[in-house]
């Protein structure tokens, strides 16, 4: 990945950063230079063939080192085991309406954006792992008690659960205050 850092010096990126800084300010532009976009931009119906292997992966996302468990695929993608585990129930999730999310904008004012679930499959199609405990499941896969070799992982969509923030914080680069409308966005997968 470090080999790619030289592309930040391209004329296109310099032009983009000039416009970005003018629109968002110097602090936001400085953050943008090191910002990493997550690797979870899957398309509903996208399939991956699992190799059956499991490994530890590390990555630096927006200045914070992340450590997670991944399942490599024959396509070269590494899928997060935690993401593949999804949820055990859709209770409280809104699968039909847009859900409002509040956050603190660049001008320090409260802003709102909307998200909508794109999960339309039957919940029976969602993978039900042998354990809901991440480390137990990882051990099962590593020891081949759960054999995923050659299995197809299919992205079924994202389910959205509206919540109210109980404490101030930051998620995906968005800062928020107590009482702000937020959403849990959960990726759902089938494995067959």
Structure tokens at 162: 């509206």
- 121, 183 contact by CB (below 8 A): no
- The H or E element containing residue 32 is helix 26-32
- 167, 178 contact by CB (below 8 A): yes
What pLDDT does residue 107 have? Answer: 87
Q: How much is the pTM?
A: 0.74
Question: What averages of pLDDT result for each successive group of 10 residues across the chain (192 residues)?
Answer: 61 79 80 55 89 90 81 93 93 92 91 91 94 91 94 94 95 90 94 96
The DSSP code for 43 is: P
What pLDDT does residue 159 have? Answer: 93
What pLDDT does residue 38 have? Answer: 42
Q: How far apart are CA 131 and CA 66, in angstroms?
A: 23
What pLDDT does residue 4 have? Answer: 58
Structure tokens at 152: 């197809």
- The H or E element containing residue 65 is strand 64-72
Domain definitions of the chain by residue range? 1-35, 36-191
């Amino acid at each position: 990945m470090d080999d790619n850092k030289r592309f930040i010096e391209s004329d296109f990126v310099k032009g983009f950063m000039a416009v970005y800084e003018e629109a968002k300010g110097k602090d936001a532009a400085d953050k943008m230079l090191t910002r990493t976009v997550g690797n979870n931009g899957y398309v509903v119906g996208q399939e991956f063939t699992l190799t059956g292997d499991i490994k530890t992966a590390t990555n630096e996302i927006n200045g914070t080192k992340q450590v997670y468990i991944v399942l490599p695929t024959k396509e070269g993608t590494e899928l997060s085991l935690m993401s593949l585990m999804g949820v055990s129930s859709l209770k409280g999730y809104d699968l039909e309406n847009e859900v409002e999310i509040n956050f603190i904008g660049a001008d320090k004012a409260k802003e709102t954006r909307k998200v909508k679930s794109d999960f339309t499959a039957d919940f029976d199609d969602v993978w039900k792992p042998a354990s809901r405990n991440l480390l137990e499941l990882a051990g099962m896969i590593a020891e081949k008690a759960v054999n995923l070799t050659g299995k197809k992982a299919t992205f079924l969509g994202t389910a959205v659960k509206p919540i109210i923030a109980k404490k101030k914080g930051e998620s995906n680069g968005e800062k928020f205050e107590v009482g702000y409308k937020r959403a849990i966005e959960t990726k759902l997968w089938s494995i067959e």
